[in-house]
Amino acid sequence: MDISEQSWRDVDAFLTGELVEEDDALRAARASEQEHGLPQIEVAPNQGAFLALLAQVAGARRVLELGTLAGYSTIWLARAVGAQGRVTTVELDPRHADVARQNLERAGVADRVDVEVGPALEVVGRLADEGVEPYDLVFIDADKANMPAYLELALRLTRSGSVIVGDNVVRGGRVADAADDDPNVRGARAFLQAIGSDPRLDGTALQTVGSKGWDGFAVARVR
């Protein structure tokens, strides 16, 4: 069956319209990417809702996010943890971080979010070395080449029952091609293999199609 990408987008629009409450602050966060010349690679609205539901199902009060961009997914996660929760989000680009702070302020969640600026490996490595309180959920959405290293750091920063989510792991189907030498594809592939072989984790991955194209999430739980 030949189903067009437009059909994927139409279904996403239907699902969002029926199931997702995307308010003005969330829409403004998405729009701010184009306004400020940021890459428009945020999660789709229904994916943001999915992340928030995962956080709520896990009872998450402490969340670590790698890859802030304009703060769209950060808003979803910050709302999910509630007023007593805390989100730490890590962004490489200071300009992106400034846009995210504005969006978080507009959404009314800036007081529960710490925006850390710098290379994710360095920032998260520092957090692990400092022995911060474990996170209940880690969302990995930074550069894909370093996903295996992020996973190992996430395991140092979580506890039994914590949830680790990796975004963009299917790469338009390229992850299944062992000969593909793109660093992002190789990183996503190694990340999935690490989840599957690590005795500390139970996990799976799901393909997604929609407004963000053909990709997928990996979800793992720390044993």
Q: What pairs with residue 218 in β-bridges?
A: 166, 205
pTM for this prediction: 0.96
Q: Is the pLDDT of residue 137 over 60?
A: yes
Q: In what order do the strands lie in the sheet with 201-210?
A: 113-117, 86-91, 62-66, 135-140, 158-167, 213-222, 201-210
- Section 176-193 average pLDDT: 98
**Per-residue pLDDT at 90:** 98
Fold category of 5-222 in CATH: Rossmann fold (3.40.50)
Residue 115 has pLDDT above 60, yes or no: yes
Give the whole-number percent of the chain exceeding pLDDT 70: 99
Tell me if 54 sits within 8 A of 75, measured CB to CB: no
pLDDT at 1 over 60: no
Examine the pLDDT at 201 and tell me if it is beyond 90: yes
Give the pLDDT score at 218. 98
What is the reported pLDDT for 159? 98
Q: Between β-strands 158-167 and 213-222, what pairing exists: parallel, antiparallel or unpaired? A: antiparallel
Instruction: At 138, list the tokens.
Output: 């880690």
Q: What integer is the mean pLDDT of 198-219?
A: 96
Q: With bands split at pLDDT 50, 70 and 90, how would you rate the model's confidence at 114?
A: very high
Rg of the chain over Cα atoms, rounded to whole angstroms, equals 17
Averaged pLDDT for residues 36-64: 96
| Mean pLDDT value across residues 131-158 | 98
- Band of pLDDT at residue 5, cut at 50, 70 and 90: confident
* Mean pLDDT across the chain: 96
- Report pLDDT for 80: 98
In the predicted model, is pLDDT for residue 48 greater than 70? Answer: yes
Of 85, 56, 89, nearest in space to 74 by CA: 89
**Residue pLDDT, tens place only, 78-112:** 999 999 999 999 999 999 999 999 999 999 999 99
Query: In this model, does residue 2 exceed pLDDT 90?
Result: no
pLDDT band at 4 (very low <50, low <70, confident <90, very high): confident
Residue 66 scores a pLDDT above 90: yes
- Tell me the β-bridge partners of 210: 213
